[in-house]
Amino acid sequence: MRFWLCAVLPAILALCVTSENCVFAQARKPNPAFEKIVDDPKLPRVLIIGDSISMGYTIPVRKLLAGQANVHRISVNGGPTPRGVESIDAWLGDGKWDVIHFNWGLHDIRYMDDKEVPPGPLTATPPAPRHPQVSIEDYEKNLTQIVERLQKTGAKLIWRNTTPVPEGSVNRVPGDEVRYNAVAEKIMQSHGVQIEDLHSFVKPQISELMLPKNVHYTPAGYDALAEQVAATIKAALPAAQQ
């Protein structure tokens, strides 16, 4: 048994690095992106809301905006839009936000059945009864509700669209993010919300920025995303702080 564990456990842990379901991954230490920020009262306050992609660029964004803004983020993975609807009030808290940079999508388009999410890549036509975690109709309804709540904060809102789904990605179909992004774009345009188009930024650089057959990024890829996000946030900061 000891020999078996020594031989197999390293491989299991390696597979868990980018897994969304791995029990070992769930037991890891909290992501440093979740650390609480002590505000410099002289600087504006920024809130990042999003999934694991935003978790990956939070730390480098903080570094790029050091001395220019207090960059906070929600202390969990933002998940699908139903989680956003349920949690948005708690995430916003009572403080004043100057800029809110937010996203939902990758979890909404994640395919699942009524029991669990089986592993393996999907084809363009997933077999029944598998379906996106959130239908495109519910995505539109949920995202509209979230945007209307965010607008009540008076903050400058920036919507970051969902980044590409490469061929072979587990539990997602390439192209679904384009359909959901189109719905989100209409919502943002009708509510006057700025759009950050990271999908178009990443698409021609998938092989350089993203992990193979995966919706996640290499360290250099997250740095590249962070540069885009930080520049967008900086331009939205109150004029005296830019």
Q: Is residue 17 part of a domain?
A: no
Q: Is residue 220 part of a domain?
A: yes
Q: At what angle do helices 81-92 and 136-151 cross, to 10 degrees?
A: 10
Q: Is residue 165 part of a domain?
A: yes
Q: Is residue 69 part of a domain?
A: yes
Confidence of residue 131 (pLDDT cuts 50, 70, 90): confident
Q: What is the CATH number of the domain that holds 69?
A: 3.40.50.1110
Nearest-angstrom CA–CA distance, 5 and 3: 5
Once rounded to an integer, what is the mean pLDDT over residues 64-77? 97
Share of the chain above pLDDT 90, in %: 74
Q: Is residue 162 part of a domain?
A: yes
Q: Is residue 7 part of a domain?
A: no
pLDDT at residue 204, rounded to an integer:
97
Q: Is residue 167 part of a domain?
A: yes
Q: Is residue 191 part of a domain?
A: yes
Nearest-angstrom CA–CA distance, 10 and 15: 9
Q: What is the residue range of 84's domain?
A: 32-241
Residue range 76-90, pLDDT digits in tens: 999 999 999 999 999
Nearest-angstrom CA–CA distance, 6 and 84: 41
pLDDT at residue 239, rounded to an integer:
75
Average pLDDT, whole number, for the chain? 86
Distant-in-sequence, close-in-space partners of 143: CB < 8 Å, separation ≥ 6: 81, 84, 104, 183, 184, 187
Domain count, the chain: 1
Once rounded to an integer, what is the mean pLDDT over residues 151-172? 96
Side-chain-side CA neighbours of 166 within 13 Å: the count stands at 18
